Amino acid sequence: MDARGSFGRILLAALTGALLLPALASALLAADSRDCRRRLARAEAKAEAARTHLAPEGTLAPEAKAAVDEAMAAYHAVIRHCPEMIEVYEGLGNLAFSTGRMDDAIHAYRGYLQLRPDSVAAASRLGYVFMKGGRYEEAVTVYEWLLEHHPDRVNDRKQYALALQKTGRTEEAAAQFREIVSATGETKLNCNETMTYVDAKDGDKTIRSALRGLAAHSESEGCLLYGWEKGFQLITFSLVKERHFREARAACQAERARAVEMLSGVNVTALSVIENKVQDMLDRIAKLAAIEANRSQ
């Protein structure tokens, strides 16, 4: 018996008093549910067809735009008719994200969370979509909620740290990277901490962070040496530019001493690289000072 035939018999019985209204409501809901399932199946088939046009890197060929538009329209139609069908929001969000339609992805994952507010997966996806769309403040809000309830989610904590970094919350971002390294031993993230201070143009903390990672033989030694050099430049370049050569030499000697203190006997290779960088800067300062002295004579 099809849904329409069933509906007609139920309605007739109800009108003649042979059936109570709760049974009618139950049958109508069942018919609606089957209709929603059929609509979702059609949308998913269109989405699968659209995905065949995706290049490996996730880009979309121009001629495939119509297929994606058709699939997206099908998902939106399901939402209009079946707004409480949670699977449609997941399908729409995944298709929108994979084709770079971030606003649609955000709308979909928000809809999912309205129906299932405790969904860790949906919150994680929403935070990531905010990150990809450059909406870092909103990403911070999502990740703060997520990590408050699920503090062991390392990948989400990484994204949270990056979001904090992007919003200028330097110390909080650095602390998150240190926490991840401490919890997981993933020492390559030492460099993320260092580069957080580089972005904040804090030469002293950049160098301190880099030396700490180098002393621990971090996996990211090359990146840390690069970070150390950026911090060193932040400290010395402004002094040289203003022709404060004495202060610049003193800063070089201070950074050499700090590196020796932290790396001597611990990471001699990195120490050697740093000492060479310091000496190069001292030689440059000497040349510039000589040129300045000749000009003043």
Give the pair of three-digit tokens for residue 226. Answer: 């690069």
Percent of the chain clearing pLDDT 70 (strictly above): 86
Give the pair of three-digit tokens for residue 170. Answer: 């330097």
Mean pLDDT along residues 240-256: 96
**201: region left, alpha or beta (phi > 0 left; psi from -120 to 50 alpha):** left
Residue 280 has pLDDT above 50, yes or no: yes
**Cα radius of gyration (the chain):** 30
Residue 6 has pLDDT above 60, yes or no: no
Does 31 or 135 have the greater pLDDT score?
A: 135
Query: How far is the C-alpha of 128 from the C-alpha of 117, rounded, in Å?
Result: 17
Does 257 or 9 have the greater pLDDT score?
A: 257
Give the pair of three-digit tokens for residue 143. Answer: 């990740």
54 — phi, psi (to 5°)? Answer: -75, 135
Q: Give the pLDDT of residue 16.
A: 38
Identify residue 144 by its one-letter amino acid code.
E
Q: Give the pLDDT of residue 57.
A: 54
Q: Give the pLDDT of residue 4.
A: 45
Task: Specify the residue for token string 């460099």.
Answer: 191
Write the CA distances from 129 to 24, 73, 124, 140, 180, integer angstroms.
43, 20, 9, 12, 22
Q: Give the pLDDT of residue 17.
A: 40
- Tell me the pLDDT band of 34, cut-offs 50, 70 and 90: confident
Nearest residue to 130 via CA among 157, 96, 164, 105:
105
Distance from chain centroid for Cα 85: 28
Residue 84 DSSP code: T
Residue 12: how many CB atoms within 10 A of its CB? Answer: 11
Q: What is the DSSP string of 206-237?
A: HHHHHHHHHHTT-TTHHHHHHHHHHHHHHHHH
Does 33 or 203 have the greater pLDDT score?
A: 203
Residue 28 has pLDDT above 50, yes or no: no
- Render pLDDT for 132-182 as a digit per residue (tens, 0 to 9): 999 999 999 999 999 999 999 999 999 999 999 999 999 999 999 999 999
Identify residue 70 by its one-letter amino acid code.
E
User: How high is the mean pLDDT of the chain?
Assistant: 87
Query: How far is the C-alpha of 144 from the C-alpha of 163, rounded, in Å?
Result: 11
Domain boundaries, the chain: 188-297
Query: How far is the C-alpha of 75 from the C-alpha of 1, rounded, in Å?
Result: 28
What residues pair up with 60 in beta bridges, in sequence order?
54
Q: Give the pLDDT of residue 58.
A: 54
Query: How far is the C-alpha of 102 from the C-alpha of 194, rounded, in Å?
Result: 30
Query: How far is the C-alpha of 191 from the C-alpha of 8, rounded, in Å?
Result: 69
- Tell me the pLDDT band of 20, cut-offs 50, 70 and 90: very low
Does 3 or 129 have the greater pLDDT score?
A: 129
